A and B are shown apart, each in its own frame.
Chain A
Amino acid sequence: MTSRSLIAALTSAALLVSPAPAAAQSASGARPTSPAPAGTATPDAGAKAPASADAPNAPAANTPAASGAPPAEAPPRAPEKVDPGVFDKALKAYFDGKPRDAAGPLYAWLQAAPKTDENYAWGQYFLARSLIDLGLTHAGASYLARIARERSNPNVLPRALDALKALTDRPHDEVMIDQQVFGALDLGFLPEETGAYAHYQQGLVDLRVGNERWANTHFAKLPETSAEASRAKFALLVTRLKQAQEPSDEIIADFLALSEEEKLTREARNEAALAVARLRYERKDFKGALEAYDRVKLPELDPGRASLYLEEAWTRYKLGELRAALGILTTLDAPSFRDEFLPDKYLLRALIYRDLCHYLPAKRAAKELTRRFADSLEAVRNREDLTQDVRLRRAANAHGGTQRAARFLEVLELEGERLGRYAGSFGDRLFSHLTKLYDLSRAEAVRVHDARLAEAVRQEADTLLRAAEQVRLMEYEVGLKLYERVKKGARVVAPEDEQMLSPTQTAYRFDGEYWNDELRSYRVRIDSRCIEETP
């Protein structure tokens, strides 16, 4: 692990620390109970109700023809007249659990109604909820974001923000939601939970542009006991770490405290523990690093992350626990990690075999790297477009901002396909509007993803090249060792005392079948073949 990779890992971890799932009140699919617009037939319409939608402007008066303006080349289609009762019927359909029947009419009504209509924001809100309920989260989010930007109705706004916050748990449009809505909100009027999230997001934006003082202003407003406050601490620590030449004890202690913070999600606590482990590793406190790795708690039968195992294996190797390190490398051969991009794995295996004087396996492990990544190495050497290399592309898409961009792109593609199912029930206008929305969003998502991918594959290629270079050195060294002359009187190093099983332990001999509950328990029994030369 280099300092650069450490910082990169921590930065991506900081960005990865995602907010806890929002309260059930605004989870998608849940029906809001009150207040709902008046004039609806909803059984649970609340007390605070906007007026009934009965007075849309006469659309014909606004058309260019009616006002006598010269016709443009491609005049916008005049909104059709919509019966004001449509809004009520659409709401009834929504509250009857038929979002599919509600979406089309709501859109038609929104097209016809003036933006100043009392129910306009409600129309947008319920259209958004209908779309989210139908699995079109991005389309729903775009309407919620509009409500947040327009702020025309103070009753609708908190609900829209709650719904938006709930959507941030899944892949989402970071620019539209995190930056343009939560990153730019006037925070005075927000309910506590949503306000905390907005403060957190705005602090993050400030941190990203290097304004720690401004970020602190936002973070100071977070309730002490909130999960956002803990996440903010994590983000601040990562920023300070970036700026510091040498990580101080204080930073490590702060990360350690965060790893025990119950308010954080398990994933975030694990990230903090990993940060401690990496920092201690950098400071060559390998025992401390191992303790920190032990703090990483995985859900039952969760295979965990390949990078975690590889880092732990390096730590054990540095501690001289070669057999334990080899056991962890066995873990990394599990099917769960078969597609992981871990060139270091082969290098470490070769190093361990070399240290145990098993030169043939060492050579084989070293060769395995160049064999397995032959196509990628060839692509690098030929200066081909690395984004087209399957392995490098997969590796780049596996973490950080590229992963988020790839996931969002997947969501858009999935929802774009899903949209086709509703072509009949949405009506032409909503369908064509959403098709256009998804096409545009997808094009932008592709652009963002491609930009991030290009940078990420370059970094992965760097990693691969470095490992390949070390492996070549290793092969050379092992080749020399293989043909080294054994001096007279030399003898094999006495085998280490085998660690007996304690009465509380059980041993399952590994025969190639991986069990998720055993992934952190593999140990290898292997004798050293090294010889010691007698003087």
Chain B
Amino acid sequence: MRYALLFLLLLSPGLVRAQAEALENPGAVSAIQERRFRMHHELLLGVGVLPANAYYKGLVGTVGYTYHFNDTFAWQVGRGTYSYNLQTSLRRQLERDFNTSPNAVAFQDQVQWMVGSDLVWSPLYGKMAFLNSTVLHIEAFLLGGGTVVKLDRDGGFRPAVNVGLGMRLFTGKTLSLRLDVTNNAVFTGPTRVIQVPLIQFGTAFNFGATE
């Protein structure tokens, strides 16, 4: 009983303060605005890199189409990525100094191209002040889906699971800039999985969005 009283005694200043605050400054203020940028049919043209493999680096180009059901949910119906691969100095050294065969298994994980589809969830939409003179609108999203990857080997089609996140900077009603960081977990064998991360910067064209 004494502890309960003591507890209430300790609690009371906080309660009084909260009530006084509510009495003095009642109400909550929000800025309610029409959402300025809305997406509908999105065509993406992107360039990026496959940076992770030690034996090659891929320079990629991507084309994709996304249908936006609403402001938070979309389906990237299709995306196709082609990779132009550059051999690293490590691989050249292995081939030159250690006579490693160009067809060695380790070198066959090169991605030639890949196609896939993802679901996109955009929970974050906000704005930033640039130099206190311009307001920039941004959106952050998560995406996940499946990919078919063509590796540099005979019959090299492999399935993959793609997950990633991205950010979009709106520059206008019909144009936005998009940064995607994704990872494809490619199932190259029954027990072997390789990770193919992709960093991609793209320009997204938006068609058919209503005001």
Q: Using CB atoms and an 8 Å cutoff, list the residues of chain A in contact with chain B.
A: 301, 323, 326-327, 330, 353, 356, 358, 360-361, 364, 501, 503-510, 515, 517-518, 521-527
Bound Cα distance from A353 to B26, whole angstroms? 9
Q: In the bound complex, do residue B24 and residue A515 qualify as a contact, i.e. CB atoms below 8 Å apart?
A: no
Q: In the bound complex, do residue B32 and residue A505 qualify as a contact, i.e. CB atoms below 8 Å apart?
A: yes
> Can you list 5 A-B pairs with a CB-CB distance of less than 8 A?
A323-B27, A503-B70, A506-B35, A507-B31, A517-B33
Bound Cα distance from A238 to B56, whole angstroms? 77
Q: In the bound complex, do residue B25 and residue A522 qualify as a contact, i.e. CB atoms below 8 Å apart?
A: no
Known contacts A301-B135, A515-B129; is-contact A507 B26 (Cβ 8 Å)? no
Q: In the bound complex, do residue B27 and residue A525 qualify as a contact, i.e. CB atoms below 8 Å apart?
A: yes
Bound Cα distance from A326 to B32, whole angstroms? 14
Q: In the bound complex, do residue B32 and residue A501 qualify as a contact, i.e. CB atoms below 8 Å apart?
A: yes
- Distance between B124 CB and nearest chain A CB, rounded to angstroms: 11
The residue on A at minimum CB distance from B28 is A525
Other-chain contact of B30, A301, A353, A360, A523 (Cβ < 8 Å): A523
B6 at the binding interface (Cβ < 8 Å): no
Binding site secondary structure of chain B: strand
- Distance between B174 CB and nearest chain A CB, rounded to angstroms: 17
Q: In the bound complex, do residue B26 and residue A358 qualify as a contact, i.e. CB atoms below 8 Å apart?
A: yes
Q: Which residues of B contact A364 (CB under 8 A)?
A: 24
Bound Cα distance from A506 to B125, whole angstroms? 9
Q: In the bound complex, do residue A515 and residue B135 qualify as a contact, i.e. CB atoms below 8 Å apart?
A: yes
Known contacts A503-B71, A515-B129; is-contact A508 B24 (Cβ 8 Å)? no
B34 at the binding interface (Cβ < 8 Å): yes
Bound Cα distance from A361 to B26, whole angstroms? 8
Binding site secondary structure of chain A: mixed
A-B interface, 10 closest residue pairs, ranked by CB to CB distance from nearest: A526-B27, A518-B31, A510-B29, A521-B31, A508-B31, A524-B27, A507-B30, A521-B33, A525-B28, A506-B35
Q: Using CB atoms and an 8 Å cutoff, list the residues of chain B in contact with chain A.
A: 23-35, 38, 70-71, 125, 127, 129, 133-135
Q: In the bound complex, do residue B28 and residue A524 qualify as a contact, i.e. CB atoms below 8 Å apart?
A: yes
The residue on A at minimum CB distance from B31 is A518
Q: In the bound complex, do residue B30 and residue A525 qualify as a contact, i.e. CB atoms below 8 Å apart?
A: yes
- Distance between B208 CB and nearest chain A CB, rounded to angstroms: 15
Query: Most chain-B Cβ atoms within 10 A of its Cβ — which of A503, A504, A515?
Result: A504
Q: In the bound complex, do residue B32 and residue A360 qualify as a contact, i.e. CB atoms below 8 Å apart?
A: no
Q: In the bound complex, do residue B26 and residue A526 qualify as a contact, i.e. CB atoms below 8 Å apart?
A: yes
- Distance between A359 CB and nearest chain B CB, rounded to angstroms: 9
Bound Cα distance from A327 to B25, whole angstroms? 13
Q: Which residues of B contact A360 (CB under 8 A)?
A: 23-24
Bound Cα distance from A327 to B28, whole angstroms? 10
Bound Cα distance from A509 to B135, whole angstroms? 17
- Distance between A119 CB and nearest chain B CB, rounded to angstroms: 48
Q: In the bound complex, do residue A504 and residue B31 qualify as a contact, i.e. CB atoms below 8 Å apart?
A: no
Known contacts A507-B30, A522-B29; is-contact A361 B35 (Cβ 8 Å)? no
Q: In the bound complex, do residue A515 and residue B28 qualify as a contact, i.e. CB atoms below 8 Å apart?
A: no
Q: Which residues of A contact B25 (CB under 8 A)?
A: 361
Bound Cα distance from A150 to B29, whole angstroms? 63
Bound Cα distance from A358 to B25, whole angstroms? 10
Known: A506-B125, A515-B127. 12 other contacts (CB 8 A): A326-B27, A358-B23, A361-B26, A506-B32, A506-B35, A508-B33, A509-B28, A509-B30, A515-B31, A521-B32, A522-B32, A523-B30
